[in-house]
Amino acid sequence: MEMDTIAAIATGLSDSGIGIIRISGERAIEVGNRVFCTPKGKRILENAESHRIYYGYIVGDSGDWDVLDEVMVSVMKAPRSFTAEDTVEINCHGGVLVMQKILELVCRSGARLAEPGEFTKRAFLNGRIDLSKAEAVMDVIHSQNEFALKSSVSQLQGSLFDKICGLRKELIYEIAFIESALDDPEHISLEGYPERLHDKIESLNQQISSLIATSENGKLIKEGISTVIIGKPNVGKSSLLNRMIGEERAIVTDIAGTTRDVLQESINLHGISLNLIDTAGIRYTEDIIEKIGVEKAKKYAEDADLILCVIDSSVDLDESDKEILSEIFYLIRDKKAIILLNKTDLQQVVDEKMIEDLFHDMMQCQDTNDKKNMIFVRTSTKDGSGMDELEEAVKKMFFSGMIKSNSELVITNIRHKKALENAYESLNLVLQSIEDDMPEDFYSIDLMNAYTSLGLIIGEEVNDDLMDEIFSKFCMGK
């Protein structure tokens, strides 16, 4: 069945040096031939060689020699193109008006405007790429740091596809073996098979579990580390934010309570994004607006991956400090915290031991091993000292494992994680059936469920609604 020939602007819709209008479909070359001609006025694209670039002009359809732009046009014939369809790309000047004019002409000449992600969707439907590679295309486009880019490129090259196919191959072998043995028991024996299958499933589940375990790092790689800066008023939180981003983003004064709402900025640290949130100073206050800011600060701390707690080490700890530290000591069971003893340029009255003793008193009835999630760093946001140590502390807490495993497969897509979890649960049911000495045909049901769940990742079992939802998130022209 013939699909519509589609067209879209494939570059950003802003003034730039070069713009690209992409045309794909069975009539792509015919459409390109209608709008393009050589400097001598010849229409040559219908007889053009594949994977060649031709110089000429885009000529309007008014009947006169109405030149819209001087261009370079590339022709890629099926199946040797991104969509596996005939494709024409018009490389024109990157002005918004000229790109829109050429796209309008192309649509009047037989193409229709592409939907978001439709080129990549066609690549998937035509077997050019699997669904995990299609999603990796979008991840490459939206990568905000080095690790995210490397992970996306790795999946684009097929690392996840190969792994999932390997797991499914082992599952389908077991399913086929069981079905064959049940159909032909005289020639295929199931004696001792449950024990062998048990070992096989445990091995597969270990591999799946390892993939699921990478998803926590994958989330941080893809989305960045949510980092909240908390402390009582006037301890240097906003100055810390300014130091970390390298510009005067937050207002800094000697007046306590200057910051009343949150400020959010992103920085790149050792190849990973930190999404910084500067919050209002935590203290008791009658000011309604400031009180709202304090509650927001506590909520952001609960949701953060990393807490940067700023303490003024030049004055004695007060009740506000103790309240903040109490919050942190409770939270570091599930997240990490760096305690910054700030204002080291002044006379010091607070040290690490005081806070550790306070920690011990507060947590005396609980497991104090939680201290492994807490690091102390001495800083002065006034003169910048300790900032290198702060970066090293963040690197130690989050990045060492990522750096070591940067060449390994990391799950960054929540849809993939859910499918892996479903497969894992199905295989656990197989193990339970074996332990309960259930008939072998019970194994096949859960083995097939696991096989289907893994197939969702690469698009083997995907339905139209899910496919449409995935590609609707793509940008236009991709």
CATH of the domain at 284: 3.40.50.300
Q: Domain for residue 122, yes or no?
A: no
Q: Are 300 and 178 found together in one domain?
A: no
Q: Are 366 and 435 found together in one domain?
A: no
Q: Domain for residue 119, yes or no?
A: no
* Lowest mean pLDDT across 296-310, 337-351, 365-379: 365-379
Residue pLDDT, tens place only, 255-285: 444 444 567 888 877 667 888 888 765 555 5
Q: Are 69 and 205 found together in one domain?
A: no
Q: Domain for residue 127, yes or no?
A: no
Give the C-alpha separation, 391 to 147, whole Å. 17
Q: Domain for residue 200, yes or no?
A: yes
Q: Are 244 and 155 found together in one domain?
A: no
pLDDT in the model for residue 211: 92
Q: Tokens in use for 76?
A: 């890629």
Number of domains in the chain: 3
Q: Are 367 and 440 found together in one domain?
A: no
Q: Tokens in use for 387?
A: 């900032």
Going by pLDDT thresholds of 50, 70 and 90, the confidence category of residue 169 is: very high
Give the C-alpha separation, 278 to 259, whole Å. 8
Final residue of a domain: which of 369, 385, 404? 404
Final residue of a domain: which of 381, 404, 427? 404
pLDDT in the model for residue 205: 94
What CATH number is attached to the domain comprising 73? 3.30.1360.120
Q: Are 49 and 100 found together in one domain?
A: yes
Three-state DSSP class for 69?
strand
Q: Are 286 and 325 found together in one domain?
A: yes
Give the C-alpha separation, 408 to 360, whole Å. 39
Residue pLDDT, tens place only, 57-105: 999 876 666 899 999 999 999 999 999 999 999 999 999 999 999 999 9
Give the C-alpha separation, 142 to 273, whole Å. 13
| Residue-range definition of the domain harbouring residue 420 | 134-214+412-472
Closest to 305 in 3D by CA, of 281, 330, 334: 334
- CB–CB of 241/263 below 8 Å? yes
pLDDT in the model for residue 319: 82
Q: Are 180 and 264 found together in one domain?
A: no
* Lowest mean pLDDT across 43-47, 224-228, 323-327, 458-462: 323-327
Cβ atoms < 10 Å from Cβ of 245: 17
pLDDT exceeds cutoff 70 at 162:
yes
Q: Domain for residue 310, yes or no?
A: yes
pLDDT exceeds cutoff 80 at 331:
no
What CATH number is attached to the domain comprising 181? 1.20.120.430
Q: Are 138 and 87 found together in one domain?
A: no
| Of 253 and 190, more confident | 190
> What does the CA dihedral 170, 172, 174, 176 come to, rounded to 10 degrees?
-150
Report, as an integer, the average pLDDT of 288-313: 75
Final residue of a domain: which of 346, 379, 404? 404
Q: Are 242 and 338 found together in one domain?
A: yes
Q: Are 72 and 100 found together in one domain?
A: yes
Mention every residue, 6+ apart, whose C-beta is less than 8 A from residue 298.
282, 327
Give the C-alpha separation, 120 to 126, whole Å. 10
Q: Domain for residue 477, yes or no?
A: no
Q: Domain for residue 202, yes or no?
A: yes
Q: Are 273 and 381 found together in one domain?
A: yes
Q: Domain for residue 321, yes or no?
A: yes
